[in-house]
Amino acid sequence: MASSKLLAVVFLSSLLALHAPMTTTAANSNLFRDYIGAIFNGVKFTDVPINPKVRFDFILAFVIDYTTATEPPTPTNGQFNIFWQNTVLTASDVASIKQSNPNVRVAVSLGGATVNNRPVFFNITSVDSWVKNAVSSLTKIVQEYNLDGIDIDYEQFQVDPATFAECVGRLVTTLKSNGVIKMASIAPFDNADVQRHYQALWNSYGSVIDYINFQFYAYSASTTEAQYVSHFDNQIANYPGGNILASFTTAPTTTSVPINTSLNACQTLQSQGKLYGIFIWAADHSRSQGFRYDTQAQALLANAPSY
């Protein structure tokens, strides 16, 4: 009887572990990620300096389960369409940049804040139909462009957190189990409703989420280096065990955390052994600055141990 009870406990523990949040601890790494393609200003993969000593992910922005056949654009219940500038970021361009740079992967981001300057809402007809359509449409896009992963960047919701978690969690789980993608990330920011949805996803499906592209630049322009680090620590608590990336934006703005403040905070996080990586929004904006800050961020990460 004792051995039977032990086996039952082990079996139950295994079941619970299937969808448990990741248990790895954030640590210094050399992962750099750059969103690209959303602004439609002609920026190309080859425009962006790539440090061979970092792991470099381009993230195409965006694919959206909306259609432009109507005005305003309307949800399509999981039938994703391309909204990045795919006339200059083509499938052959993806193949070429990956062949020329063995350290490069390319992912695509889902959602975003707006389409044609109108809000993009996560809005479904049913969980089963959304997952079925999303798996089908994303598989086609991922395979056509030879992509490595997806990023979840919905920012406005017309469903409850549990429904969002079930839809996205099942989508990522299916795409991974089918061998369609190798990695998945989420891109929350510190808004109460946004956090409720992403934390519900993390709590139920954290085991299939590889990175958390937290939008730290969404904090106010008055944020200090110490406050940035404190915000980072808060998100470690909100997404326990997650690989949380620091971030900044190169967009022309006076309302976001200044770039130099962000980079200084990244140096502090690295000295504390907590800088898993950095992402930037976005290469499109960085081009006008000669990719100065993309280069600086990669140089900082290149000094970190590689995992």
Residues 268-306, buried b or exposed e (16+ Cβ, 10 A)?
bbbeeebbbbbbbbbbbbbbeeebebbbebbebbeebee
Whether the CA torsion 112, 117, 121, 126 is positive or negative: it is negative
End-to-end C-alpha distance for the chain, whole angstroms? 44
pLDDT digits (tens, 9 = 90+) for 202-257: 999 999 999 999 999 999 999 999 999 999 999 999 999 999 999 999 999 999 99
pLDDT digits (tens, 9 = 90+) for 21-41: 444 455 899 999 999 999 999
Contact present, 278 and 246 (Cβ < 8 Å):
yes
Q: Is the pTM of this model over 0.85?
A: yes
Q: Is residue 47 part of a domain?
A: yes
Whether 9 has a pLDDT exceeding 80, the answer reads no
Number of domains in the chain: 1
Whether 127 has a pLDDT exceeding 70, the answer reads yes
Q: Is residue 16 part of a domain?
A: no
- Considering 71, 144, 155, 225, which one is annotated as catalytic? 155
Q: Where are the alpha helices (DSSP H) in 78-191?
A: 91-100, 127-145, 161-177
Is 144 tagged catalytic? no
CATH code, 127 = 3.20.20.80
Structural domain of 167: 24-302
**Three-class SS of residue 58?**
strand
| Chain centre to alpha carbon of residue 277 | 12
Q: Is residue 4 part of a domain?
A: no
What is residue 68's predicted lDDT score, i.e. its pLDDT?
80
Pairing type for strands 114-115 and 244-249 reads unpaired
